[in-house]
Amino acid sequence: MFEFQRINNWEKTRLEVLKKTLLNIIILINVCCFGQIEPGQFKYIQELEHRQNRSLEQFESVNDSSYDWIYARTNWKINPSNKYISGAVTYYIKSLETDLSQIIINCSQSLDIDSIYTNNKVLNYQWLNTYDLVIELENTLRLNEVDSFTIVYHGVPDFTGMGSFIQSNHSNGDIIWTLSEPYGAQDWWPCKQTLKDKIDSIDINIEVPIGNHAGSLGILDDSTILDSTIIFHWQHRYPVVPYLVAIAVSNYKVVDYKIDLNGDSLQILNYLYPTAIEQYNNRRQGLEDMFGLFDSLFGTYPFINEKYGHAQFGWGGGMEHQTMSFMGSFGHELTAHELAHQWFGNKVTCGTWKDIWLNEGFATYLTGLTYEHMFYGQYWDIWKSQLINHITTEEDGAVYVDDTTDVSRIFNGRLSYHKAAMVLHMLRKEIGDSIFFNGVKDYITNQDLSYKFSKTAQFQCIMENHAQQDLDTFFNQWIYNEGYPILDIQYEHSNDLLKIFVQQKSSHSSNDVFQFDLDIAINGKEIQTLKIKEETSTFLIQYTDTIDSLSFNPEHNLVATLSSKIIGINVIKDEFEIIPNPVKSVLKIYFSSENIALDELFILDANGKVFYTEKMNSNTITEFSPVITINIDFLQVGSYIFLSRKNGQITNSKNFIKM
């Protein structure tokens, strides 16, 4: 057991900042808050969670797996008017090796290290490269042995991440805020920047000028007033990945209240600009409804013993810092998305940046679920339609990330957010609602993943166990490979028989043929689900009423597009007859006109399964040979359909019975 005691007296740094530095150029997106939600006003959440389009090839640090980071105590001194940080970080680590004598800490050389010490003894260290600091431990540690040390530092953090450490201002004052995802934590504090190790527990102490508040993770234990400053003492007793550790300092107004979650009382603590209080209060009921929905579907709020809240910051979007999301506004989608991350991204965190869809895809899909279950469901189909329209604006791109050095690729809105969300929805349709939601709830509460990390293969395994089916084809075509199906759909309706012909091609070469369920609405109402498994498929449906139209993907459950409008095929009446019918062994087709040019002949059963095909020469049927004979001994007794096709279109069909 460790004594988590607070340090109230700050270590004095040796150097004073010489002057306030110029701000780095930051692209800020001004996002208007949603008023009454209306169709067509939805914003792409990736535009709100704006990510810097920079290559970070040099910023991904060495990952030291020789030790487990079990506790941290931070002491920071911040003035929101100056881009500058000074402080100390105390580490408690547990050795994962039999003889551990040195470790690597990730830290930018833009920060000045004043000292590293333990038990009043200074430790030696050296820079391995720009972001990796090698520290010599006081004693060689045995397996599972625990040690601690403190790094005292100061400086002006570089801007290399997606915010990292930003000083700016709002209409009523100055602000400093951090945003470390994916590689920015090392810019402003010495840490273990990794997706393999969470800090088991952390205390965060932030000293700021009086008149300001400092927001961060966990519970605000208390505050200590000094002569001209105040120290905010935050305690967080849940595992946390370093990129989710954050601070925000400004002259905030506090909106603090409690909500009931199935008998548990949860504090909602908000640090807001003075001008935003009314805007936030107008959204309070919506937040409570989201909590109720997510709790019912995915289990209790993961940090129920502490709080949830928001701190406003200098982006138009948001960032899901654990227990306190940083927000640029309080629109419905942004609020839902960042809250959803507390389950998907914070409780269970993607195990590599290649698997970021497990964070962003789920958070986006949960936003969609609020439209399914709130507002009387009137925006659910609109939301799905908008996602599909965005996904299909380009023909390539996998959900699984291929280049983790490029932030714009990791956080690609079309792929990591929208396509990932629709893939989750298609998986739900594939295996059924009950299996899907039970599987996802098992995923988020699984003891091997809960408050830890997950990769795509682990999620797939859990869903396969619940569905009792192999999902390799689904995950390969929708997660790992690129593109989506482009469909050509035609139909013929005659003699109370509807024949639907579907031909697909992939928008990208990584997928040859997709397998999926295709919904077709007849006359805009009755939905037929067709199982597509081949490049070309034919379906036969008994339908007695008149057909005015067929519509594709009416409930927007599939990522696919049409190559052209669905068209009905004009049947050439009496083109051929089958005599005799029923038939025992040899099928004879008598054609009624000469020089009929056909491409192919087919024999199918009532389920659309093809038993026979024959490619025709252009003049096979002439006045000298108006009959085609086919030996059908290979067919079992039953009902079948003979049809002909020209230029990809069905020209005629006849039913026959095999005796």
Report pLDDT digits (tens) over 23-71: 232 222 232 332 333 334 444 455 555 444 434 444 445 668 999 999 9
Structural domain boundaries in the chain: 45-339, 353-480, 485-568, 576-658
What six digits make up the tokens of 54? 């920079």
Which of the following CATH numbers is that of domain 353-480: 1.10.390.10, 3.40.1410.10, 1.10.3720.10, 3.50.50.60?
1.10.390.10
**The predicted structure's pLDDT at residue 162:** 67
**The predicted structure's pLDDT at residue 64:** 83
The 10 Å Cβ neighbour count of residue 174 is 17
Q: Residue 211 gets which letter from DSSP?
A: T
Tell me whether strands 349-350 and 497-506 are parallel, antiparallel or unpaired: unpaired
pLDDT at 596 exceeding the cut of 80: no
CA distance 57 to 347: 28
In angstroms, what CA-CA distances link 471 with 46, 161, 456, 478, 482?
28, 36, 12, 11, 17
> Identity (one letter) of the amino acid at 24?
N
Q: Rounded mean pLDDT of 620-648?
A: 74
> Taking CA 55 as the corner, what is the angle to CA 54 and CA 61, rounded to the nearest 5 degrees?
120
- pLDDT tens digits along 303-355: 999 999 999 999 889 999 999 999 999 999 999 999 999 999 999 999 999 99
pTM: 0.82
**Bridge partner list, 68:** 94
pLDDT at 99 exceeding the cut of 80: yes
CATH number of 485-568: 2.60.40.1840
Do 353-480 and 576-658 have matching folds?
no
pLDDT at 631 exceeding the cut of 50: yes
**The predicted structure's pLDDT at residue 626:** 63
Nearest-CA neighbor of 473 among 533, 518, 421? Answer: 533
Instruction: Output the average pLDDT for the chain.
Output: 87
Outline where DSSP puts E strands in 81-196. Answer: 85-95, 100-106, 111-118, 121-122, 125-127, 132-141, 146-155, 164-170, 173-179
- pLDDT tens digits along 196-253: 999 999 999 999 999 999 999 999 999 999 999 999 999 999 999 999 999 999 999 9
The arrangement of secondary structure in 45-339, i.e. its CATH architecture, is Sandwich (2.60)
pLDDT at 535 exceeding the cut of 60: yes
pLDDT at 471 exceeding the cut of 80: yes
Count how many residues are written for the chain: 659
**The predicted structure's pLDDT at residue 46:** 57
Cis peptide before 580 (omega within 30 of 0): yes
H helices of 392-507, in order, are: 407-410, 420-431, 433-445, 456-467, 472-475
Q: At what angle do helices 433-445 and 284-298 cross, to 10 degrees?
A: 90
**The predicted structure's pLDDT at residue 52:** 43
What six digits make up the tokens of 468? 């009792």
- R_g (Cα) of the chain, nearest Å: 32
Q: Residue 378 gets which letter from DSSP?
A: T
CATH number of 576-658: 2.60.40.10
3-class secondary-structure state, position 544: coil
The 10 Å Cβ neighbour count of residue 193 is 28
CA distance 523 to 505: 26
- pLDDT tens digits along 246-272: 999 999 999 999 999 989 999 999 999
